[in-house]
Chains A and B, each alone.
Chain A
Amino acid sequence: MTTKGTVKGIIANLVTVAVDGPVAQNEICYISLDGTRLMAEVIKVTGDNVFVQVFESTRGLKVGNLVEFTGHMLEVTLGPGLLSRNYDGLQNDLDKLTGVFLKRGEYNFPLDEEKLWAFKPLAKVGDKVQAASWLGEVDENHQSHKIMVPFVMQGEYTIKSIVAAGEYKIKDTIAVITDEEGNDHNINMIQKWPVKKAITAYTEKPRPFKLLETGVRIIDTLNPIVEGGTGFIPGAFGTGKTVLQHAISKQAEADIVIMAACGERANEVVEIFMEFPKLEDPHTGRKLMERTIIIANTSNMPVASREASVYTAMTIAEYYRSMGLRVLLMADSTSRWAQALREMSNRMEELPGQDAFPMDLSAIIGTFYSRAGYVYLNNGSTGSITFIGTVSPAGGNLKEPVTEGTKKAARCFYALEQSRADRKRYPAVNPIESYSKYIEYPEFEDYINTKVEGNWIKKVNEMKTLLQRGKEVQEQINILGDDGVPVNYHETFWKSEVIDFVILQQDAFDKVDAVCPLERQEFMLNLVMDICKHDYDFDNFLNVMDYFKKIINICKQMNYSEFHSEQFEKYLKELKTVLAEKQIKTEK
């Protein structure tokens, strides 16, 4: 028998319920109100009083309204047909909702129950299987979607029967498996999983080492992220967080991209809705939308489901990782999620931590980031979830709790800087403060040295040193004046400007420059480093600036031209002529 209750108190979306039976922490319940049912989650229990956060507006709710508990936590439904869909934070299919405005209490089934999928068995009768074992596959948008033994099933099972290749609906039984006690279990193509628990059906989680190419130079070349890695992008508003995040999601070499728009602007989500069905995946040539799932819980949608949305997204990511796929999960922004936690903690009158955030904020963030990773599955294949979250630091101050908490959890740090954004140096990633921990992993160094070229890391580090040096010299020039420093100080500064303009800056709105494949990044890095390694013949500082501006201009034109096109080669030739004018022959 399920537990029932009645509403006793209401403060905004925190509702107190008197219950007549057992309830579990995080259990889902429904509150009846004028013919609709509002979904809510248990967040605190004291005696017979249960505190629930309602995922909807509580307007008009009264004391005495009936509450029904479901006996399970917040779950998502996993199965073929998730790709290309737009869900809200509770996995309602937004396209299936009627009307222009969202109606409260309207929930729907997230998949298509009628669609026929071409199923091919991968296992045979008599095989021993366990949770997450692949029983068969269907083709979902040209990717192999594995039908697995549900993650909730513990222990070992034997396949008693499995259907032949053919077309089936998601609720058709495709296999019967027998447990150790001899009980039979029917398996269809869908399963459910509580979002707040990690899916751990894999054997090992090694350190990640494979580069995840994003086509963004300042990431791939300077601060690479890896398959199964974690990163975060903090930045005040207007520094280009969303543009950078969209660029990564469009260009990254991933099989599946899940975007959790968590408490951000609705028009930004609309931009994805409009663009992704048209844009092509640069790696496969298919439409971007075919590999994408969007979880949209924009800032005007209910706060409590904002918190749920990141977990919903992560659970779907874990599901696809278990199929041996490379998943990229982006959450914009994790600060809004933290604020949702703060609002609830505040209403429950918990003692606040810094900036009124809950005390365990940092632990919650850490646990969430740790669900990403590169894994060896039970059958020896690999899968990965790369997670990149944005952080919207209050007042642009990186010392605030969400940024600090995330810094402990994420391995890549892409600090967006206001002053770079003000000077329109996009992407406004600060090249000196940002870092990727992966670049220090010997596994990564081995990998990248074979994938790109030997000594790659060494070259990148040399470039970083030049940038650092350029910054120091610039400060000295600012203090001492242009003619208060030796001419070669100007040369050092302008070399760092060449790196800045040609490698770091990238025009996300230019068709050619937006995506820079690794091969091209390698070419440009070598070209620029070659420019920087030479000495030049200048008699005064004025010439230095003019000369390097000319070089920057030619290199920028190269960035705007198709790689190795006629135009590109023309500019390259021009560059060589200009370099020959001033370059002193001996290389440093």
Chain B
Amino acid sequence: MATKAFQKIYTKITAITKATCSLKADGIGNDELATIDGKLAQVVKIMGNDITLQVFEGTEGIPTNAEVIFLGKTPSLKVSDQLAGRFFNAFGSPIDGGPEVEGVEVEIGGPSVNPVRRKQPSELIATGIAGIDLNNTLVSGQKIPFFADPNQPYNQVMANVALRAEADKIILGGMGLTNDDYLYFKNVFNNAGVLDRIVSFVNTTENPPVERLLIPDMALTAAEYFAVEKNEKVLVLLTDMTLYADALAIVSNRMDQIPSKDSMPGSLYSDLAKIYEKAVQFPEGGSITIIAVTTLSGGDITHAIPDNTGYITEGQLYLRYDSDIGKVIVDPFRSLSRLKQLVAGKKTREDHPQVMNAAVRLYADAANAKTKLENGFDLTDYDERSLAFAKDYSDKILAIDVNINTTQMLDIAWELFAKHFKPEEVNIRQSLVEKYWKQTSYE
């Protein structure tokens, strides 16, 4: 950031904490950016002429006589078609060795869409993964996270979804991404030949954690440009939102705020909602769909981060290792796509909603049977059959390596029903049973 001649330079810092600096200055706007000793900082508190700034990189080595220059603007990004194919850091500066992007400078974290100007999401996003398309259908304009343990292959599944989703642009917001995962995404996109459709904003574990706070807003500002100005279908991938929330907690702690549940700031819900609610279907055809990752600690979804996320997002996807088939599956019990009824049975075959529910119900019966088995009880014939069904269902539908269309998924489900059950055991509307029940029953 070059110093301009007419800018006033302050050189007397009155207080320094691990993340903030304070000094006396006049005429400063709330949220305004400044550089302190060349490091980017943002105004977070004004009390008379006492200004407190949050230093994104951390305050290590900042002396009390550091040069402070106020930039007279809030964090912004230059948007244009030149963003496509590029990799940026949290401040929107290129990290791929390419030139600076020319374009219109837009404040990040801009205003919300008027709810009456939104269009109801109605376009199915096909991923080929039946655990998603059949049970938890995604819709453009939706926001949905993977709730995953850190050792699960969520980034791989997410990359697959992104590539198959036929989006015009894919925007990757990486927060605390390991360098290996960053390279993984880069390679996958490169190998698929789609690099020109990708824009990446990356904060790796090597960068200071507080910088992460800018990543979602950067990614979504770029997304809004393509969705609003170009009417494109934009898919935004945010990984990992837990690390984003941790950075929020660090800052709020340094600002002496009273923490609420799990040491998280009391405003966590609003902070997360501001990001996720950027997902939208615009009337002119453009859309922003957000697929995020929230890593869990020990599978605990009652922790404030997944808990608040669950209340904001339109469902959540869980991955689970199924030892019966030796594959990772999309957990049908806890996963949910809240928008699925907008497309299931409407954009897909009529039997979709009932088949989906019946299969999950039968899978639940198998889970009960399994408990009985583990407790050493005798199984009934029905229990045996539901266990056999569960294994087939897991392998042919739930596994993440499945890649078929929804009609095929429904056909397979009916086949499995007929193979293991009698029509009256599946509890589906009679007219559908008559139409789709496979005659090749194994009874």
The CA of A95 and the CA of B364, in the complex, are separated in Å by 46
- Tell me whether B353 is interfacial, beta carbon within 8 Å: yes
Which one of A144-152, A167-175, A270-278 contacts B? A270-278
Residue of A nearest to B49 (CB): A63
Bound: A415/B278 CA distance, A: 31
- The answer to whether B120 touches A270, judged by C-beta atoms less than 8 angstroms apart, is yes
B45 adjacent to A11 (CB under 8 Å): yes
23 contacts across the A-B interface (CB closer than 8 A): A9-B45, A9-B48, A10-B46, A60-B29, A60-B31, A60-B32, A104-B111, A263-B269, A266-B112, A266-B118, A298-B115, A299-B277, A346-B257, A394-B304, A422-B333, A423-B364, A478-B372, A481-B372, A483-B378, A509-B341, A546-B382, A552-B427, A557-B430
Q: Are A63 and B26 in contact (CB under 8 A)?
A: yes
Given A266-B118, A550-B424, 19 other A-B residues pairs in contact with their CB atoms under 8 A: A9-B47, A11-B46, A12-B267, A61-B30, A99-B114, A100-B117, A100-B282, A101-B111, A102-B114, A238-B334, A274-B120, A299-B270, A342-B266, A343-B266, A346-B260, A347-B257, A392-B311, A395-B307, A553-B427
Task: Say yes or no: A553-B114 contact (C-beta < 8 A), given A63-B26, A298-B277, A346-B257.
Answer: no
Q: Among B273, B380, B427, which residue has the most Cβ atoms of chain A within 10 A?
A: B273
Give the A-B pair count, Cβ closer than 8 A: 207
A336 within 8 A of B: yes
Chain A residues positioned under 8 Å from B377 (CB to CB) = 481-482
Closest to A513 in B: B429
Q: Does B119 contact A (CB under 8 A)?
A: yes
A382 to chain B, nearest CB (A): 34
- The yes or no answer to A83 lying at the interface (CB within 8 A) is no
Decide yes or no: A238 and B302 within 8 Å by CB, A299-B273, A549-B424 being known contacts: no
What 0/1 pattern do residues 126 to 164 of A give for CB contact below 8 A with B?
000000000000000000000000000000000000000
Say yes or no: B114 contacts A97, CB within 8 Å.
yes
**Which residues does B use to contact A, with CB under 8 Å?**
26-32, 44-49, 74, 107, 110-121, 141-142, 228, 257-261, 266-267, 269-270, 273-274, 277-278, 280, 282, 301-304, 307-308, 310-312, 314-316, 333-334, 336, 339, 341, 353, 357, 360-361, 364, 371-372, 375, 377-378, 380-382, 424-425, 427, 429-430
Q: Which residues of A contact B425 (CB under 8 A)?
A: 549
**Residue A352 CB within 8 A of the other chain:** yes
Contact assessment for B277 and A94 in the assembled complex, using a CB-CB cutoff below 8 Å:
no
Residues of B contacting A356 in the complex (Cβ-Cβ under 8 angstroms) = 258-261, 266
Query: Smallest CB-CB separation from A480: which chain B residue?
Result: B377
Q: Which residues of A contact B311 (CB under 8 A)?
A: 237, 333, 392
A500–chain B nearest beta-carbon distance, Å: 12
Assess whether B112 is in contact with A545, with CB atoms less than 8 Å apart: no
Evaluate whether A59 and B314 lie within 8 angstroms (CB atoms) in the complex, with A342-B260, A346-B258 already known. no
Interface hits, A279-313 → B, CB 8 Å: 296, 298-301, 303
Taking CB as reference atom, which chain B residue is nearest A567? B430
Contact bitstring A533-560, B, C-beta under 8 A = 1, else 0? 0000000001001100110110011001
Given contacts A299-B269, A342-B260, A346-B258, contact A266 B115 (CB under 8 A): yes
Chain B residue, CB-CB nearest to A342: B266
Chain A residues whose C-beta falls within 8 Å of the C-beta of B48 in the assembled complex: 8-9, 63
Complex Cα spacing A424 to B359, Å: 11
CB distance from A62 to the nearest CB of B (A): 5
A103 touches B111 (CB 8 A): yes
Pick from A60, A349, A545, A560: contact of B74, CB under 8 Å: A60
Query: What CA separation (Å) do A582 and B310 show in the bound complex?
Result: 47
> In the bound complex, how far is the Cα of B45 from the Cα of A480, in angstroms?
64
Binary CB contact string for chain A from 509 to 521 against chain B (1 if under 8 A, 0 otherwise) = 1000000000000
Q: For the complex, what is the distance from the CA of A390 to the CA of B14, rounded to whole Å? A: 47
**Number of chain A interface residues as a range:** 35 or more
Q: Is the CB of A10 within 8 A of B266?
A: no
Task: Determine whether the beta carbon of B378 is less than 8 Å from that of A63.
Answer: no
Selected from A299, A392, A424, A549, the residue in CB contact (under 8 A) with B357 is: A424
Q: Are A509 and B266 in contact (CB under 8 A)?
A: no
Give the chain A neighbours of B142 by CB distance below 8 A: 267
On chain B, the residues within 8 Å of A481 by CB distance are: 372, 375, 377-378
- A273: chain B residues at CB < 8 Å are 115-116, 120
Q: Is A397 a contact of B302 with CB atoms below 8 Å?
A: yes
- CB contacts (< 8 Å) of A346 on chain B: these are 257-258, 260, 266-267
Are B270 and A94 closer than 8 Å at their CB atoms?
no
Residues in B whose Cβ lies below 8 Å from that of A263: 269-270, 273
Q: Which 9 A-B pairs have the closest CB atoms?
A: A395-B302, A300-B277, A299-B273, A237-B310, A356-B260, A481-B377, A9-B47, A60-B29, A59-B31
**Interface hits, A83-112 → B, CB 8 Å:** 86, 94-95, 97, 99-104
Residues of the B chain whose Cβ atoms lie less than 8 Å from the Cβ of A16: 47
Q: Tell me the complex Cα distance, A452–B334, Å.
A: 40
The answer for the CA separation of A556 and B378 in the assembled complex, in Å, is 30
Residues of A within 8 A of B30 (CB): 10, 58-62
A337–B141 alpha-carbon span in the complex (Å) = 26
Q: B361, A94: Cβ atoms under 8 Å?
A: no
Chain B nearest CB: distance from A272 CB in Å?
Answer: 10
A181 part of interface (Cβ distance < 8 Å): no
Q: Bound complex: CA of A407 vs CA of B333, how far in Å?
A: 29
